[in-house]
Amino acid sequence: MTSLPLTIRHELPADHAAIERLHERAFGPGRFARTAFRLREGVPQDPALSFASHVGTFLVGSVRVTRVSAGGQPALMLGPLTVDPAFEGRGIGAALMNASIEASRAAGHDLIMLVGDAPYYARFGFKPISPGQLTLPGPADPARFLALELVEGVLARRSGAVMALRPGSA
């Protein structure tokens, strides 16, 4: 049996339909009601920070990053991170996370936020945001609202609403 190599590259427009099908399989129709989805709704992901993974020509994972405002300052919202269930447990999610974090750091960004499982994301340096410090445009479990400082101390200087940045804004 031939082993096909895993590739990770920037997400391309041609990946969009396969990524949407992957999100549908992984999260179901309820994904549209989630606060993190609503924050990103109608705002394109940043193609320089969003990645797709393939085994051969088959898309097996994706991570998207959207530019947002956190307390009036630019920040990033990571998510969703999705891996095809048939390929879970093979390090694909971690590889996608590392690619996105390193691209964000190289581009000079200082803060990445997400809503997710704290034990999983802690290995990448994400920590809970103090309740009430930053607010999302809908309900979210405060223990799942996490941040990674790419510049030490930046989170302490942010407070207020998290909002999507529409195309053409900072």
H helices, E strands: number in the chain: 4, 9
How confident is the model at residue 76, as a pLDDT? 97
68 strand-pairing partners: 75, 164
What is the arithmetic mean of pLDDT over 34-49?
83
What is the torsion angle, in degrees rounded to the nearest 10, for the CA atoms of residue 153, residue 93, residue 99 and residue 147? -10
For residue range 50-69, list pLDDT tens digits in order.
Answer: 999 999 889 999 999 999 99
| Domain chopping of the chain, boundaries | 6-164
C-alpha 37: how far from chain center:
11
Architecture of domain 6-164: 3-Layer(aba) Sandwich (3.40)
CA neighbours closer than 13 Å in the CB half-sphere of residue 64: 20
For residue range 84-121, list pLDDT tens digits in order.
Answer: 999 999 999 999 999 999 999 999 999 999 999 999 99
